[in-house]
């Protein structure tokens, strides 16, 4: 069996990537067609729900949850705030499985990993995550632990952005 890499470092990097995307969406993009910007509290809410789904039902259920929340829109500039956050979250979590440190576990998804492509390949992603769930208890638990830690970090980063926004600062 392959040695287990430092999951905490992998989760921290993934959460930072996920949160950087959300911060960029919050601060730099124009208002959505519905007239709103993505707010850190929306990211916090989605990350919290995805975390609960991961903890209670596993990574396959969390994948389905994020796919459902990402809607059907293939052009992210037309997506609602929650759809945008869900697409970015799913993309970051799938990228995490393709990290070089995890290559020995054969967890990586072979398709495109950009947020704007998440809604075009829902069926393939679900099939891949079903294979991950079936890959053995040790690997399934590894992925679950990794996704949980990533979502915990992302949630707290979003909460920090929310607090900083309320204080008029940058997180």
Output the pLDDT for position 33: 57
Q: How many Cα atoms within 13 Å fall on the side-chain side of residue 109?
A: 26
Output the pLDDT for position 164: 80
Instruction: Give the Cα separation of 54 and 112 in Å (integer).
Output: 23
Confidence of residue 28 (pLDDT cuts 50, 70, 90): low
Output the pLDDT for position 60: 95
pTM of this prediction?
0.87
**Quick one: tokens of 34?**
């519905």
Of 71-85, 92-106, 138-152, the one with minimum mean pLDDT is: 71-85
Percentage of residues of the chain with pLDDT beyond 70: 87
Q: What is the mean pLDDT of residues 59-68?
A: 96
CA 64 to chain centre: 12
For the cut 90, the answer to whether the pLDDT of residue 49 exceeds it is yes
168: left (phi over 0), alpha (psi -120 to 50) or beta: left
Confidence of residue 149 (pLDDT cuts 50, 70, 90): very high
All residues at 6 or more sequence positions from 53 whose CB lies less than 8 Å from its CB, including other chains = 61, 62, 65
Burial class (CB in 10 A: 0-12, 13-18, 19+), 2: exposed
- Give domain limits for the chain: 7-167
- CATH for 7-167 (1.10.10.10, 1.10.520.30, 3.40.50.720, 3.30.950.10): 1.10.520.30
Greatest CA separation for the chain: 51
Of 41-45, 77-81, 84-88, 127-131, the one with minimum mean pLDDT is: 77-81
Q: What is the mean pLDDT of residues 140-150?
A: 95
Instruction: Give the Cα separation of 73 and 99 in Å (integer).
Output: 27
């Amino acid at each position: 069996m392959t040695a287990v890499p430092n999951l905490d470092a992998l989760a921290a990097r993934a959460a930072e990537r996920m949160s950087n995307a959300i911060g960029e969406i919050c601060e730099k993009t124009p208002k959505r067609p519905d007239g709103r910007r993505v707010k850190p509290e929306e990211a916090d809410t989605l990350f919290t729900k995805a975390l609960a789904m991961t903890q209670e039902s596993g990574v396959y259920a969390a994948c389905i949850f994020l796919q459902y929340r990402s809607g059907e829109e293939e052009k992210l500039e037309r997506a609602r705030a929650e759809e945008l956050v869900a697409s970015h979250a799913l993309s970051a979590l799938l990228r995490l499985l393709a990290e070089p440190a995890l290559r020995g576990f054969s967890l990586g998804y072979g398709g495109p990993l950009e947020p704007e492509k998440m809604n075009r390949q829902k069926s393939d992603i679900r099939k891949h995550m079903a294979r991950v769930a079936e890959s053995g208890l040790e690997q399934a638990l590894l992925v679950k632990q990794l996704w949980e830690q990533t979502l915990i970090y992302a949630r707290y980063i979003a909460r920090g952005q929310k607090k900083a926004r309320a204080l008029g600062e940058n997180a």
